[in-house]
Amino acid sequence: MQKLLLTALAASQIATAAHAADAPLAPDVAEFRDLYRELIETNTTVNNGSCTDAAAKMAARLKAAGLPDSQIVLFATPEHPKDGGLVAMIPGTAKSLKPMLLIAHIDVVEAKREDWTRDPFKLIEEDGYFYGRGTVDDKSQAAIWTDIFVRFARQGYKPKRTIKLALTCGEETSGAFNGAEWLAKNRPDLIDAAFALNEGGGGRTNGTPISKGGKLEVQTLQVGEKAYQDFTLTATNPGGHSSQPVRQNAIYDLSQALLKIRDFEFPVEFNDTTRAFFTKVGMARGGVAGKAMLAIVANPADSAALAALQQDKMLNSMLHTSCVATLVEAGHAQNALPQRATANINCRMFPGRTTAETQAMLEKVIADPSLKLQPKVLGKPMAVVPPMNPAIIGPIEKLVARHYPGVPLLPTMLTGATDAVYLKGIPTYGVPGVWLDPDGNGIHGLNERVEVQALYKAREYLTDLVKALAG
């Protein structure tokens, strides 16, 4: 009965929110929407954009809200003038409390206009969704954190705990300048904190938009993530004139290796976080997918259960290390046999798995010593799983129950990677909030989108969470 009442209450609130979506926006929400628009419409891709420009625009909004210059630091290096960022702070009144850090990256994955249905660098609201590159990853959170600072500054809010904000660049491009890494190495004083709130958590629907009667199945708290590593796979050949082809060809050799990688599945494995996630979601979901989740926990070698879970790319990725080809470059002339063919192999390694053992496994799969496989970045740090501190987890749970009634909160492992790897010594949590559809909403792909209600509701939740944790 209690579950039915909670479900009814959640449905009622969603219906009310859907009706409210047609009403004019409150002034503070309209201002937030404009801030979000400005971030989306400022191109921050690694090749053609400028994070420095985006950070300056956010600093201007903070200053206009009354945050003094002494509490805002814009940073960039001479070598990477367009990869700058911002750190801001609101001092706390209790000197005994160590600061908290709100972190988000403002760079985005490349998006080409000719591939997208809509202009990726224009915020377009259509059929209950916001469309544009970064609408989720990660300008949704960057906009929410900045908006919180704008409102706190305007209100003269004085938290007990100092609140820090870091907007950084470089998270989306491995091997490029990374603002979070630079701060940790060069200005650790700016981001030193007792804990950090980051991307990585969020909600998941049943596949139908909430605005059209869908159901929010779960909210997640990210307390671990996979390790990121790129490998360069290279095939070489003497080449020659294309009018006299031979069977041995760098492109063919590379292609055969890539197909082997495509067909290879790393072994299924669990840690405490993923075991709890699959167990709880499997019990709640039921059906074919739910039964498969429970079966794979009981027996990781259950091939039938794995086959069922492979239909859901997120669940499948949580089960093991994954490696996939993402870029290919080959040949030097249209009328010549290729002398070189290379591919980027992007791996997301299950927590605890190293670059060396992943490389060894891939080389065994490829089984061609004439090809070379080399890691792109050496010595990249591994993310540390933060403790389930009740002082932090308690408010997160309490406020999820208030803002998303009847929706379970589960700890989860992020299948991607974040800047948390650079925040050594700072327990970092991917907070609940924005919900996504099972297809991933086009993150890193075409026509990235977020449900309008999801963004506005996450703003309300995260505002209350920051207040609760800051005292």
Locate the DSSP E strands across 259-371: 322-330, 336-337, 340-349
The one-digit pLDDT tens for each residue of the chain (471 residues) are 333 333 333 444 444 444 444 689 999 999 999 999 999 999 999 999 999 999 999 999 999 999 999 999 999 999 999 999 999 999 999 999 999 999 999 999 999 999 999 999 999 999 999 999 999 999 999 999 999 999 999 999 999 999 999 999 999 998 899 999 999 999 999 999 999 999 999 999 999 999 999 999 999 999 989 999 999 999 999 999 999 999 999 999 999 999 999 999 999 999 988 998 999 889 988 899 999 999 999 999 999 999 999 999 989 999 999 999 999 999 999 999 999 999 999 999 998 899 999 999 999 999 999 999 999 988 878 778 899 899 999 999 999 999 999 999 999 999 988 999 999 889 999 999 999 999 999 999 999 999 999 999 999 999 999 999 999
C-beta of residue 320 within 8 angstroms of C-beta of residue 413: no
How far is 146 from 62, CA to CA, in rounded Å?
A: 8
Half-sphere exposure of 257 (CA within 13 A, CB side): 30
Q: What 8-state DSSP symbol labels residue 325? A: E
- Residues 2-225+384-470: name the CATH superfamily: Zn peptidases (3.40.630.10)
Residue 65 in 3-state DSSP?
Answer: coil
- For residue 4, count CB atoms less than 10 angstroms from its CB and return exposed for 0-12, middle for 13-18, buried for 19 or more: exposed
Contacts of 73 (CB under 8 A, 6+ apart): 86, 87, 88, 187, 190
Cβ neighbours for 351, distance < 8 A, ≥ 6 positions apart? 224, 225, 226, 227, 271, 382, 383, 385, 413
For residues 109 and 424, the answer to whether their CB atoms sit within 8 Å is no
> Are 296 and 318 spatial neighbours (Cβ–Cβ below 8 Å)?
no
What is the pTM (predicted TM-score) of this model? Answer: 0.85
Choose among 468, 299, 291: nearest CA to 397.
468
Query: N- to C-terminal Cα distance for the chain?
Result: 35
Local structure of residue 70 (DSSP, 8 states): G
Work out the angle between the directed axes of helices 139-155 and 51-64 (0-180°, nearest 10). Answer: 20
Instruction: Give how far Cα 59 sits from Cα of 24, 41, 158, Å.
Output: 27, 16, 20
The answer to whether 134 touches 108, Cβ cutoff 8 Å, is yes
Q: Which tokens in the block code for residue 204?
A: 């998941």
Residue intervals in the chain for CATH 3.30.70.360: 227-375
pLDDT on residue 22:
61
Closest CA relative to residue 172, chosen from 80, 52, 46, 348: 46
For the chain, give the number of residues: 471
Beta carbons of 319 and 268 less than 8 angstroms apart: yes
Contact 434, 99 (CB under 8 A): no
Q: Are 195 and 436 in contact (CB under 8 A)?
A: no
Angstrom distance (rounded) from CA 304 to CA 295: 9
CA angle 42, 43, 46 (to 5 degrees): 145
* Close Cβ partners of 219 (under 8 Å, ≥ 6 residues apart): 201, 202, 203, 400, 404, 407, 408, 409, 410, 432, 433, 435
Burial per residue of 153-188, b for 16 or more beta-carbon CB atoms within 10 angstroms, e otherwise: beeeeebebbbbbbbbbbbbbbeebbbbbbbbeeee
DSSP 198: E
Nearest Cα to Cα of residue 295 among 284, 305, 308: 305
* Correct CATH for 227-375 of 3.40.50.1820, 3.30.420.40, 3.30.70.360, 1.10.540.10: 3.30.70.360
Helices (H), 342-415: 355-366, 390-403
Q: How do beta strands 435-436 and 202-205 pair?
A: parallel
Position of tokens 């700016």?
190
Which residues of the chain are in CATH 3.40.630.10 domains? 2-225+384-470
Tokens of 202: 């969020």
Return the structure tokens found at 339.
């002398």
User: Do 256 and 401 form a contact (C-beta atoms < 8 A)?
Assistant: no
